[in-house]
Each structure stands twice: as C-alpha cells, then as structure tokens.
Structure 1
C-alpha cells in the first residue's frame, strides 16, 4: 500500500510553511564574501550567505559593488545556490540599480533579495513589484523571494500586511535601527543581551514579527548577536530567540557565529527520534489518532513533529532510516 507523506495529508492541500536554513550570514566586502562562501562550501547549505550591497558598498561605488556581487553569484564559490543579496533602501538612489545590475549581469539569480528600512507595506510592495519587473526583463525564469527588514515604526505597524505579500518569504528584525529610532527612549542596553530579551518595546516588536510570519507561513529571522567571538553567548541568544519568541532563523555577522546558530536551532537527537516514532505510528494508523507513551496524538501534533524532522533535515542532522520515507526524493524543502 502506498504510504502518504506528511506534506500530503497534514495541510489540507496547502503547501507546508516555508523552511529556510536557520542562519543568515551577512558579508559586505569582497574578501568577507569569498570567505563566507568558502565556509558554506565546507559546511554545506545549512546556512545562507547574504551579499550586502547596502552597508557593504562604498559611497559613490555602488554600481561596482553590485557588479562584484553579481560575479560572485555566478562563480563556482556559489556551490549550493543559497546566496542572497541585500540592496539599498527605498530612499537611496541606488536601490533600483542594485536590482537591475545584479539581475542583468548574474547568470544565476540570487536565492532572495533583502529590502532594508522599509517604512510600510506600500514601500515593500513597490520594491517587490520592481524586482519582479526586473526579473522578467532579465529573462530569469523563476520568481525571486523577498526578505524584508523590520526596523522602522511603520514597518512594524504593517508587519502582518508585509508578511502577507506573496513575494515575501521572510521578515528580519533590525534590532539596532529599531532601538535607535526611539531616540533614547529605549536604552542602549536593549541592543544586546540580556536587555534585548527583556525590554517591553523590543519584546513587543519581536513577538509581532514572529506572529505575523507564522500567521502567513513565512520565516521570522532574529537579529544579530553582538557577541562576535563568544559562541556560548551566541548560542544562548539563538535558543532564547527560538524558545521564547518563536523565531526559526537568525542573522550572523561573523563566521564564528554560524555554527552555534545552526546548532542552536537544530532539533536534538531525542526530539528527532521521538518525531520519527510518532509519525511512523501515524502512517500505520492511516494518519488517524494514536496513543504513544500513554499520550494522545493526532494531526495537530503530527504537524509539530513533522516540523521537527523538516528542520533537522534542513540543518544537516542525520535522520533515522524510517524518516527517509517521509520526504519526496528530490525535494529538500518538504
């Protein structure tokens, strides 16, 4: 008898929520970009690399920086196709050129384009529309996902509407810009731990972003940790972002932050084994309710345990042989 896979039965015909690598690593200069791509080749597609054409570009040399980023997208260093691009913000004269140059010069489209400092859903929608038009003019066959930075009052107010835009697949929290936008009303201690997890206005922003994403099947991405060379502190920030605020992804701005973030978001071996046992029993029960370790499980808990296995697979964690039957052979995103 053919076994139905979880993605076929647990979402009432809808696609499962978007799942991205748990770490989004930013690099601004060509040297750092190449170093980041080398690390990605070493570790595999368990984290994304974002080529930064905003803060990374020298003033007056924005076009050259975009051309350099395009060449890296095309190069052999982009081994897994998980390389994105951050462009300039809506008020900067170079943002359209960033998009046009990269999409016309790179034979390989970026995995996503990140929009910084949007002031509301109208700006986000306009930028999304321009990316789509530029994609069509460049002859790129697939739509380019959009990631939006939530770091202004207007963007936070419109977080749910931005998450609902079809091209958007992720919202990222820009903690430091958000705090500075309060002009001293939030202390600078809220730009780092533990204050970033304790100040009410910052907590409210994080919860609003996570809730907006989960309501629309998008990915909430947590802000950076300022502890550049303290892996334990980075891992603790990632765990708190995951467990207390519902984030499933986090920024990195130093190569030594990547591994702790990936590990912190990855399910543990015990969680993987439990999820496999429960879903294995569910398939044998035709996806009806089951009793496991004297607890009732049905499709609501099946969706949770299916997410455990999806996240484990995305993080490169080994899965039990039985779990392989739950995934389409050629689709890592399921």
Structure 2
C-alpha cells in the first residue's frame, strides 16, 4: 500500500461521496462537502452513450482543482468484461501519472489479476479500492485485499443483494456475515477498515443513522454516500465520541509517562494492542469535520 499523504488521509477517511463523471460542474462541489474521498463515477452514473464524452472531460475538470482536492479524488471505472474497461484503465493510468487523481475504484471486483493490472497502470503512488458486489467477489476477498496497492475494501451492498437474489429488509440482517468477512479480510491483509455500502434513500435520516451505527459496530471505518447531505452525519457517526477520545488520551499519556511497555490504567492492563487502538481513535479525530 502506498504511504503518500493522500493515501494516509484516504485510509482514515469516513465518507466517500459519489459524483457523476459526466457532470464536471459537480466535481468541485462534491469536494467542497469535505468528504474524505470523492468518487467520480464512470460506471453506474453515466449512460452507455455518454461514457466516451464523460471520459474526455475528466482531465480538464481535474486540472482545475487544487493539489489537496486531487488527493481526495478516486475514479470508479467500468468493470472487467464491459466494453469500457480497457479505455477506462488507460485513462486512469494517465491521470494518475499526471497527479490528477489519488486512485481507482474497481466495481464488480472478483480477480486479483485485474487489480495487479490497474496497479501497474496507475503507478506505485496510486491506490486501489476493490468494490465487492458479488458472490465471486466475496469468495476472492482475501486475495483482493492482498493485491498490490489496495488501500481498503468497499462493499456494494445493493448489487450484492441482486447478485444473490436476496430481498433484505432495511436492517440487511442477511448481510451481516458478508460484512464480517470483509472486515476479517481487511484485518488479515493489514488494510484500513473497509468502506460500507450506500443508504439508497438520501432523504431518510433515520435509516442513514441506523446504517452508519451498524457500520461502526461492525468494524467498518467509512461509508459510501450518494448525496452531499449524507456526508456530515456519516462523518460524525463513524468518528470517536468524547468519552472514547478522553480514554485514548489517558492511555497514550500513561504509556508515555511509563516510557513505553505495559502499564496499568484504571486497574486494567494496557499493552501494545490497546495503545494502537487509542492511537487510531486519536488519528480519526484529526480528520476534519465537514463544514
């Protein structure tokens, strides 16, 4: 995994906002939401007859952005097996070489070889986010997580339901084992916590809150968003609370005061894994909240 400043920030990002590739006037507006990552979508958001035109517009749109904004840009290309995969791959390779994007989201990810191909194209500083949307993708999750330059796994919850013929209620209880599998695959590969799927009705604040809370309980570190109004509440829901931050600061302070090693805090042993958790909570708190 790349360790550039952009990659480190995206590894801690809590929100990834989709924006259509063929609406360049929305790209800067999406970034202005302060979403941790913005995914410019060449796949589902763009009709087949508009894909070539959308692809041609991206360089000019991205060149007008600041370096900080480009560090939060990912492009979702079209999947392997579609007529647009090779052209999209060539384009993102050029954009990455010019420093115009941070990385690529691969939909319908099912083969590590596809990620290896993309990694070679975008260069060592580019990051990859495989989107798990099928039974085959779930089966390959461990290999996908271990592929070069993969930063995080993401869950395409709606497409996954369609692939398996599921009819989930709002709580998506049937998908809990799938979500756990993605968290486990991420942990085994040493990746940042995975990105949970979308809440399709952006006007349903209660559903969004419930989905974000489930993601946090289940070990996800971020969530895909489809509307700017989802960014701020998701960012808040997936961040550490005041009590957690106070605990984390006490852990770090106690460890430093003891010169490292195992210490006791409130009658409980504090060893290296506990210190890492505390440090991660403090790192998450350093991420800017959407304005």
TM range (shorter): 0.7 to 0.9
Residue in structure 1 matching 2:54, options 65, 68, 82: 65
Size of the aligned set, in residue pairs, is 280
Q: Which residue of 2 aligns with 1:134?
A: 121
Q: Is 1:26–1:52's contact at 8 Å kept on the other side of the alignment?
A: yes
1:236 shift after superposition: 2.0
Q: Is 1:287–1:298's contact at 8 Å kept on the other side of the alignment?
A: no
1:224 aligns with 2:224: no
CA offset digits 1:119-170 (Å, max 9, x no partner): x33xx32x2233234335xxxxx43111111111111011111111122111
Residue in structure 2 matching 1:98, options 88, 98, 104: 88
CA offset digits 1:52-73 (Å, max 9, x no partner): 0111222133222112223222
Distance 1:89 1:22 in 2: 24
1:105 shift after superposition: 5.5
Q: Which residue of 2 aligns with 1:176?
A: 158
Q: Which residue of 2 aligns with 1:21?
A: 13
Aligned residue for 2:81, secondary structure, equals coil
Distance 2:48 2:99 in 1: 26
Q: Is 1:173–1:221's contact at 8 Å kept on the other side of the alignment?
A: yes
Q: Is 2:95–2:101's contact at 8 Å kept on the other side of the alignment?
A: no
Asked which structure has the greater CA Rg, the reply is 1
Evaluate the alpha carbon distance shift between residue 36 and residue 254 of structure 1 in structure 2; reply closer, same or farther with a 3 A threshold. Answer: farther
Distance 1:234 1:36 in 2: 23
Evaluate the alpha carbon distance shift between residue 34 and residue 276 of structure 1 in structure 2; reply closer, same or farther with a 3 A threshold. Answer: farther
TM-score (norm 2): 0.87
Distance 1:72 1:55 in 2: 19
1:284 shift after superposition: 1.4
Question: Tell me, which stretches of 5 or more residues in structure 1 are unaligned?
Answer: 1-15, 137-141, 318-334
Aligned residue for 1:288, secondary structure, equals coil
- The within-5 A match list for 1:262-301 is 262-301=235-274
Q: Is 2:182–2:194's contact at 8 Å kept on the other side of the alignment?
A: yes
Q: Which residue of 1 aligns with 2:146?
A: 164
Q: Is 2:21–2:42's contact at 8 Å kept on the other side of the alignment?
A: no
Distance 2:229 2:260 in 1: 42
